Amino acid sequence: MEILYEDDAIIVVRKDAGIATETARIGQKDMVSLLKNYRAKKHEEPFIGLVHRLDQPVEGILLVAKTAKAAATLSQYIREQEIEKEYYALVCGKPEKDGEFEDYLEFDRKTNTSFISSKDNPNAKRAYLTYKVLENIKSEDGELTLVLVKLHTGRHHQIRVQFAAHGYPLYADRKYGTAKEGFNVALCSCRLSFVHPVNSRVMEFSIKPVGKAFCLANTFLR
């Protein structure tokens, strides 16, 4: 677990692929438990306010609050879409140019999956993202493309669902594409920008992915 930044109100941490953000499964480690233990070892109150999540197979930047007040403020920022989130994604196929997806997604709680639905469906929520094509890659698994995705809404599995529905499933995505043994889905939360919940400073953090799947995109990410 790599701490990217910490003060009295927040922790910004790098989550490894394969670790859940939070889980109720006994014996399975998750980021909330790891961070609570980290605070407890420093003799601090082990409060962790979770304000957003990353899917278990996804790596990248995770922001948590150290106080209830900071958590409430950051949660409001999330609801009002005032936190900027960007992701690297390696997708199957070759999008020809930069683009955007606007769909309506419905969440199926029983299967823990989401799917494209109708705008008229009262259970569906608007999902909007934009993306930039960064690099085309030829691999033994076919043609792949590295894209930089900016989320404008934060829906369940949004990037994975929308790219798959539009014909470009994420590489090694066992839920919405094709599993690849020994690989996690090629998705990384690479940039997070937000206003600090206490001092109002603009905070920005960026990382590059280290997951096995992204080794195929070494030329761009080096």
Give the three-class secondary structure for 57: coil
List the catalytic residues.
55
Q: What would the 3-class secondary structure string for 130-181 be?
A: EEEEEEEEEECCEEEEEEEEEECCCCCCHHHHHHHHCCCCECCCCCCCCCCC
CB atoms within 10 A of CB 128: 16
Domain boundaries, the chain: 2-221
Q: Which CATH superfamily is 2-221 part of?
A: Pseudouridine synthase (3.30.2350.10)
Identity of the amino acid at 204: E
67 to each of 36, 49, 50, 156, 200, how far by Cα in Å? 12, 7, 10, 25, 16
Give the number of residues written for the chain.
222
φ and ψ of 72, to 5 deg: -65, -40
How far apart, in Å, do the first and last CA atoms of the chain sit?
22
Q: Which DSSP category does 20 fall into?
A: B
Q: How much helix, strand and coil, in percent to the nearest 5, is found in the chain?
A: 20, 40, 45
pLDDT tens series, the chain, 222 aa: 899 999 999 999 999 999 999 986 777 889 999 999 999 999 999 999 999 999 999 999 999 999 999 999 999 999 898 999 999 999 999 998 999 999 999 999 999 999 999 999 999 999 999 999 999 988 888 899 999 999 999 999 999 999 999 999 999 999 999 888 889 999 999 999 999 999 999 999 999 998 888 887 766 666
The rounded distance, in Å, linking the Cα atoms of 88 and 147 is 6
Q: Which DSSP category does 16 fall into?
A: P
